[in-house]
Amino acid sequence: MDSIPEVDPEQAKARLDAGDAIFMDVRDPGSYRAAHIPGALHVGDHNIQQLLDTTDADATIIIYCYHGHSSLGGAAYLLEHGFDHTFSLRGGFEGWRGAFPGDTTPAEGGGP
């Protein structure tokens, strides 16, 4: 596959503020529970098929991991399944937290 499209934290924050992107967190459940980008969905083997079945393929998706490496593979997977507006967050959650330290949230109720 050609290079995976990426967005930097500032571009992702603009999309979050506009409410026009779906954020997907592919980190482990404990990390997601501890803190994630507000409104992000926790995605993994347990729910990826449901995601493919229920998400509009025309939606803009920003996928992130810890440092922006594993999310490249996740973005490639979604792109291969017809989600043409998928981006990996450059720098991952750590890049986001560095740029916007006050703009994270724990999972409500402590569950994924």
Q: pLDDT tens across 49-73, in order?
A: 999 999 999 999 999 999 999 999 9
Q: What is the DSSP string of 1-54?
A: --PPPEE-HHHHHHHHHHT--EEEE-S-HHHHHH-BSTTPEE-STTTHHHHHHH
pLDDT of residue 57: 95
At 40, list the tokens: 């992000």
Q: What CATH number has the domain spanning 6-104? A: 3.40.250.10
Place 2 in a pLDDT band, splitting at 50, 70 and 90: low
Mean pLDDT in residue range 89-105: 94
Residue 21 bears catalytic tag: no
pLDDT of residue 110: 45
Q: Domain ranges in the chain? A: 6-104
- 63, 65, 75, 79: the catalytic one is 65
pLDDT tens digits along 6-63: 999 999 999 999 999 999 999 999 999 999 999 999 999 999 999 999 999 999 999 9
| pTM, entire model | 0.91
